[in-house]
Structure 1
Amino acid sequence: MKYVIIIPDGCADESLESLGGKTPLQAARLPNMDAIATAGRVGVTDNTPIDFPAGSEVANLCLLGYDPSRFFTGRAPLEAAATGIQLGPYDCAVRCNLVTVEDQIMIDFTADHVTTEDSTAFLSELNDRLLRSDRPAVAPEIAARLEFVPGVSYRNLLIYRGDAEHPSPFTPATRSSAPHDLTDLSIADDFPRGPGSDLLVALMSASAEVLADHPINVARRQAGKKLATNVWLWGSGGAPGLPTFEERYGLKGVMITAVDLLRGIGALAGWPRIEVEGATGYLDTNYAGKGAAGVEALQQYDIVCVHIEAPDEASHEGRAEAKVEALEQIDRHIVGPLWTAVQNHGNARILVLPDHPTFCRTKKHTHGPVPLAIAGTGVQTDQATTYDEISAAQTGLVFDPGWTMMDAFISG
C-alpha cells in the first residue's frame, strides 16, 4: 500500500463577503480535490486542542498522529530538528522572527519577507553585539550560553546550551505570543511572560538599537522596503521525544516542504526530506516542482507528505483572492498529478487536509475543525461531491481529537 498526504496549510476559512459569501475552498476551482471527495469520504478533524496554541506546530503533530499532550514541548525545538541541531536535556530552543514594528504595532511578522542572506547577516551582528561583546545585553554567564542561529528568511532560532548546574531559564511556564497572530495589532501586552522572560525581552529590546542603522536596513529604507526593526522571540521549548513513523506504522515516509517546522517534524518522525528547487514557503513557490517530486517519491517511499505554505501566507496577509489562486495552483499542479499516480498504482490512498484554519478576516490561525478528503483502496464513498468546509461538516465523519485520524487513514 502507498499513501499520499497533501497539506495545504491554513486553507480552511470562513465565508467571506469579498468572495460572494463563499469560503476560499468554495470559491476556488478545485476539480481534483472535488474528484477525491466524490471518489472517497469527506469529513472533519480537529488538530488544535483548545488548551494548546492554534498553530502549525501543534496542528501538524496532531495531523501526523502525535498526541500533543504527550509529545509537544514547543515550536522552536521542532524547527531546530530541521537544521540538525540536537538539544540536550538542559538545552532550549527559541523561535526568532525578524519583524517590522512601528509605534508598538506589528506591521509585518516577516520583515517584508527578508531574504535568508540578509537575515543571516542581521543575526551575525546580533551575536557579535548582544552576546559576544564586552557588554552583552544579558548577564555574561547567560550570554555565553546563547546563540542566534539563522534559518530561512524571517524564520530563525535562539539556542540556549545548558548543563545540570545551569539548566535552561525557559520552562513550559514561559509564555509568548506568535508574531503572525499580532499583525496590525499593538504588541504592548504581548511581550514574553514567566520564567526567563526578562532575558527574552532584554534581547528583543536591545536588537532594535543594533538593527536600526545596520547597512542592510539603510539599503532597505532607500529601496522602499519595510525594515527588520527587531527580533521577536517566542515558542521556546526543550528537546521533544517522538517515536518515528516507521516504529508506529511500519512505513517509510518522506517530507516535501519549504518550511523548517515541517522539515523538523519530518526529521523527528524519521522521514528524510526532498528539497524542491524554487520552493519558497510563499505564494511564489514552485507548485509544479512539488507535485512532480511527490509523484517520483511515491515510487521509493511508502508514504509521501507534501506540505504547501502558500494558503496560510495569503491568509496572514488578508488576501482572499491570493488564497483562492494558491488553492487552484495546488489543485492543478500537486493534487492532480498525485491523485493520478494513486489511481494508477492501484493499491494506494490519498488524504487532503490543512493543519488548522487561518482566517483572512483576522489574519490569524484559529482553533476549530478542518475539512479532509480521503480516497483510494478500501475507502468507502459517501454522498459528498465537493471538498470544502460546508460539505465536510455535513457528512458526520468526525475525528476529535485530531491525532486519532492518522490511524484511520493508515489502517482503517
Structure 2
Amino acid sequence: MKYVIIIPDGCADEPIEALGGKTPLQAAKLPTMDALAAKGCMALANNTPSHFPAGSEVANLCLLGYDPNEYFTGRAPLEAAAQGIQLGKHDFAIRCNLVTIDDQIMTDFTADHVSTEEATELLASCQKELLGDTACDARLEFVPGVSYRNLLIYRGDADTPAPFSSETRTSAPHDLTDLSVVDDFPRGPGSDILVRLMSDSAALLADHPVNKKRIADGKRPATNLWLWGLGGAPAMPTFEQRFGVRGVMITAVDLLRGIAALVGWPRIDVVGATGYLDTDYAAKGRAAVNALADYDLVCVHIEAPDEASHEGRHDEKIKALEQIDQHIVAPLVAALTDSGPHRILITPDHPTFCSTKKHTHGMVPLLMAGDAIEADTQTTYDELAAEAAGRRFDHGWDLMDAFVQPK
C-alpha cells in the first residue's frame, strides 16, 4: 500500500462576497480533486483544539496523528528540530520573527520577505549588541533560519534552568497583521527578558545598513524582533512506530521540516520550493512522484494558500489551489494509479480566512480516496461538500488511524 498526504496549508476559508458567496475552494477549478471526491469520501476534522493556538504547529501534529495535549511543547522547538538543533531538558527554543512595525501597528510579519542573507546579518548585530553581560544573556543565541523565520535558543542546566516556562504567553505575529501590538507583548515567566530584547531591537535596527539599503530599494525594513512560540524539547514516537509505514516530507517550511524530523521522516528539499506564492509547484509534484519508489508514504506540504490568506488575496489563493490541483495532485494520482494499492488524503491543517488574514479554529474539509475507502455521494472538494458528507473527526489526531491501513 502506498500513501500520499497533500496539505494545502490554510486553504479552508469562509464564503467571500467578492466570489459571489463562494469560498476559494468552491471558486477554484479543481478537476482532479473533484474527481477524487466523486470516487472517495469527504469529512470534517478539527485539528486546532480551542485551548491551543490556531496555528500550523498544533494543527499539523494533529493531522499526522499526534495528540497535542501529549506531545506539543511549543512551535519553536519544532523549528529547532528542522535545523538539527538538539534541545536538552533545561533548554528552550524561541521563535524570532523579523517584522515591520509602524506606529505600533504590525504592518508586515515577514518584513517584506527579508532575505535569508539580510536576516543573518541583522541577527549577527542583535547577538553582538542586544545580549549583554548578564548570566541569562550569556546563555542566549540567535540562530538564523530562512528569511524572516529565525530562532533564539536558551541553553540551561540543572543549576540554571530557563527563566521561561509553559506559562509564558506570547502572540503569533501573523495573527496581528494590520493590528496594534501594544497589548500583545510576552507575559508571564521570563517575559521581561523577551520584552527587553524586542523593545531594544527597534533602536538597533532603525539605523542598520541592511535596512537603509532595503528602504533605498523600495522595500520595507525589518524594524523589530518579535519573540514568540517558545517551548522546551518535545519527545514523541516515530510515525513508523505508531503506524507501521515509512514516510518522507516535502516542504519548504521549517516548521514542517521540524515535525518530520521528530516523527522520524527524512525530508526532500526541492529546488524552487519557496514556501510562498512563487513556489515551483511542478517541481514539488515531480519530487513527490519520484519519492513513491522509495517510501510507503509521501507527504507534500504547500504553504502558498496560507500565505495568500495572510495577505488577504483571495485571487492568489484560488491560483495557488489550481496550481496544486494541476501540478501536484494530478501527477500523483496518475502515478498512484499505476503503482498498485494506494490511498490519498488531501486536507489543510487549519482554516485561514482571507477576510481576517489570520489562522482560525474550526473544522477543515478533508478528502480520502483509494483502496477500501467507500465512496459517499459528494462530487466536489470544498467546505460545504465536506459538511454535507456528515462524517467528522472531532479530534483531528484520530484521522490518521482511519487513513493508514495497518500492515
TM range (shorter): over 0.9
> Residues 250-287 of structure 1: CA distance to partner in whole angstroms, max 9, x if unpaired?
11110000000000000000000000001000000010
Are 1:129 and 2:104 counterparts? Answer: no
Aligned to 1:280: 274
Query: Which residue, 395, 399, 402 being the options, matches 1:405?
Result: 399
Aligned to 2:15: 15
Aligned to 2:342: 348
How do 1:109-148 residues align onto structure 2 when only pairs under 5 Å count?
A: 109-131=109-131, 136=132, 140-148=134-142
Amino acid at match of 2:177: T
Aligned to 2:253: 259
SS of 1:140's partner is coil
Q: CA RMSD in A?
A: 0.7
Are 1:163 and 2:146 counterparts? Answer: no
Aligned to 2:356: 362
* Alpha-carbon separation, structure 1, partners of 2:18 and 2:220: 27
SS of 1:144's partner is helix
* Alpha-carbon separation, structure 1, partners of 2:255 and 2:208: 29
How do 1:222-237 residues align onto structure 2 when only pairs under 5 Å count?
A: 222-237=216-231
> Residues 188-212 of structure 1: CA distance to partner in whole angstroms, max 9, x if unpaired?
0000000000000000011111111
How do 1:245-324 residues align onto structure 2 when only pairs under 5 Å count?
A: 245-324=239-318
Verify the 8 A CA contact 1:207 1:231 in the aligned structure 2.
yes
How do 1:200-211 residues align onto structure 2 when only pairs under 5 Å count?
A: 200-211=194-205
Aligned to 1:95: 95
User: What TM-score, normalized to structure 2?
Assistant: 0.99
* Alpha-carbon separation, structure 2, partners of 1:149 and 1:310: 25
SS of 2:344's partner is strand
* Alpha-carbon separation, structure 2, partners of 1:279 and 1:386: 28
* Alpha-carbon separation, structure 1, partners of 2:109 and 2:260: 25
Aligned to 1:3: 3
> Residues 303-348 of structure 1: CA distance to partner in whole angstroms, max 9, x if unpaired?
0000000000000000000000000001100011111112221201
Stretches (4+) displaced over 4 A = none
* Alpha-carbon separation, structure 1, partners of 2:337 and 2:70: 36
Aligned to 1:331: 325
SS of 2:135's partner is helix
Gap regions ≥5 residues in structure 1: none
Verify the 8 A CA contact 1:11 1:25 in the aligned structure 2.
yes
* Alpha-carbon separation, structure 2, partners of 1:342 and 1:231: 45
How do 1:168-183 residues align onto structure 2 when only pairs under 5 Å count?
A: 168-183=162-177
Q: How many residues align?
A: 406
Amino acid at match of 1:54: A
Amino acid at match of 2:61: L
* Alpha-carbon separation, structure 1, partners of 2:387 and 2:88: 43
* Alpha-carbon separation, structure 1, partners of 2:342 and 2:294: 14
SS of 2:295's partner is coil
Aligned to 1:58: 58
Aligned to 1:107: 107
Amino acid at match of 1:21: G
> Residues 121-152 of structure 1: CA distance to partner in whole angstroms, max 9, x if unpaired?
11111111112xxxx2xx61011000000000
Amino acid at match of 1:306: V
Verify the 8 A CA contact 1:342 1:376 in the aligned structure 2.
no
* Alpha-carbon separation, structure 1, partners of 2:335 and 2:367: 17
SS of 2:77's partner is helix
* Alpha-carbon separation, structure 2, partners of 1:14 and 1:411: 32
Amino acid at match of 2:197: L
* Alpha-carbon separation, structure 1, partners of 2:381 and 2:123: 43
* Alpha-carbon separation, structure 1, partners of 2:21 and 2:338: 37
SS of 1:411's partner is coil
* Alpha-carbon separation, structure 1, partners of 2:41 and 2:335: 19
How do 1:381-392 residues align onto structure 2 when only pairs under 5 Å count?
A: 381-392=375-386
Identity %: 69
Amino acid at match of 2:174: H
SS of 1:45's partner is strand
* Alpha-carbon separation, structure 1, partners of 2:336 and 2:137: 52
* Alpha-carbon separation, structure 2, partners of 1:19 and 1:125: 46
* Alpha-carbon separation, structure 2, partners of 1:35 and 1:231: 46
Amino acid at match of 1:91: D
* Alpha-carbon separation, structure 1, partners of 2:74 and 2:276: 23
Are 1:188 and 2:182 counterparts? Answer: yes
SS of 1:341's partner is helix
> Residues 346-372 of structure 1: CA distance to partner in whole angstroms, max 9, x if unpaired?
201000000000000000000000000
Are 1:69 and 2:69 counterparts? Answer: yes
* Alpha-carbon separation, structure 1, partners of 2:309 and 2:153: 30
Gap regions ≥5 residues in structure 2: none
SS of 1:62's partner is helix
* Alpha-carbon separation, structure 1, partners of 2:36 and 2:338: 14
